[in-house]
Amino acid sequence: MSNVNKKYTDDELKGMSNEELATLGTELDDVTVAFRKERFPIAGDPAEKRAARGINIWLVISVISALAFLGIYIFWPWEFKVHGEEGLIWHNLYTPLLGLTAGIAITALGIAVVQFVKKLMPEEISVQRRHDGPSDEVDRRTLTALLNDSWKTSTLGRRKTMQGLLGGAAVLFGLVVVAPLGGMIKDPWRKRHDLNYMGDGTLWTSGWTLHEKGVKLYLARDTGTIAEFHEGESGSHYTTQGVSRLVRVRPEDLAAGGMETVFPLAASDVNDGDLYDPQKDVYENHMHSIHGNRNAVMLIRLRHQDAQKAIEREGQEDFHYGDYYAYSKICTHIGCPTSLYEAQTNRILCPCHQSQFDALHYGKPVFGPAARALPQLPITVDEEGYLVAQGNFIEPVGPAFWERKS
């Protein structure tokens, strides 16, 4: 006789065994167990042991891979190396090894779980009718009992080794997912290398900071020139000798209402104009300047009548050279290149989230999510007529962080 319609008191429920509650639960849920068969009805079946051993092997593989991932993540030489630098091969292996070990850890864990369900849990086909509305107390109790029952019927409760391995593999896999977040924790004050075109590794330095060390820095445009390909006696190779990627800019190179992206070029790396030497090889240094992530600057030549209306920020009154203004190209929102300059409105637009900055108003944000002005680079023209930096940025470039004052 079905118990479905019977109302149960608290005491009656408390008096029922887990098995009775589980059976009641299936009935209350309108579940009909159509078929159920133990995988290994006879205890100590060698086939069962073989199946369990196979699953344990997958779990051991998962644990070892997760440990390898964590070991590589923490101890592998991950610091960026440029082409030709010692240790480049090890650095190049870092990401593939992380991917490989994390992949094996999750794949092996997945295979172990699937094998466990297929080989050790009882085969069962159950059918349930759909219910509407919230569950009452009896349902909640019986569901707990059903979960307890599944734990028992899963046979996991008596497989201590597998329990440990499964728990270990799950915890380690959790660490594989969480540990990489640790890479976001960085000491912002730690210098990672000597000051060069890339800054010194801190957030407030860039190639323009070299000016503070007495280096004369030209504003240079990227010509896009690439190294030349040669077939020689010793085989094919590229030569960078005499190839000048960055060239100096003069004010007259830019039309009124125009904008040009420029990068810092140290006097010692100049190889253009009257200083051109076909034997000189400055290509690599030029590429470092272009790749320096806070180096890009927008050189804007305002229309003369607009420039008369420009408002300078206090302390930056002499940062411009006539109608020429140089603003960092790195958006103060989250660092996209603010590449679009509209001469009609004198607005600089960042295409990522549509922040707009007013070029007539010291790069102040006038629309969108950016809250800080684009840092302005002090510029002038040297005795030979080339545009040069008059100093470094006086505030950190790019998105806001705690070191910023403005």
- Give the torsion sign (CA, 158, 159, 161, 165): negative
Using the rule CB under 6 A, is 265 a contact of ligand FES? no
Distance CA 37, CA 47 (A): 16
Q: How far is the CB of 341 from ligand FES (least distance, A)?
A: 14
Using the rule CB under 6 A, is 251 a contact of ligand FES? no
Which residue in 170, 352, 381, 394 binds ligand FES (CB under 6 A)? 352
Using the rule CB under 6 A, is 168 a contact of ligand FES? no
Closer of 215 and 400 to ligand FES (Cβ): 400
Question: What are phi and psi for residue 299, nearest 5 degrees?
Answer: -95, 115
> Of 399, 316, 299, 294, whose CA–CA distance to 361 is shortest?
316
Using the rule CB under 6 A, is 333 a contact of ligand FES? yes
Which residue in 54, 258, 369, 391 binds ligand FES (CB under 6 A)? 369
Using the rule CB under 6 A, is 331 a contact of ligand FES? yes
Using the rule CB under 6 A, is 390 a contact of ligand FES? no
Q: What is the DSSP string of 152-186?
A: HHTTGGG-HHHHHHHHHHHHHHHHHHHGGGGGG--
Closer of 52 and 350 to ligand FES (Cβ): 350
Contact 155, 121 (CB under 8 A): yes
Using the rule CB under 6 A, is 106 a contact of ligand FES? no
| Strand-strand pairing, 246-248 and 364-367 | unpaired
Distance CA 262, CA 247 (A): 9
Which 6-45 positions form the footprint of ligand FES (CB under 6 A)? Answer: none
Stretch of 101-109, 183-191, 259-267, 333-341 contacting ligand FES, by CB under 6 A: 333-341
Query: 10 Å Cβ neighbour count for 248?
Result: 24
Using the rule CB under 6 A, is 366 a contact of ligand FES? no
Q: Which residues bind ligand FES (CB under 6 A)?
A: 331, 333-336, 350, 352-353, 355, 368-370
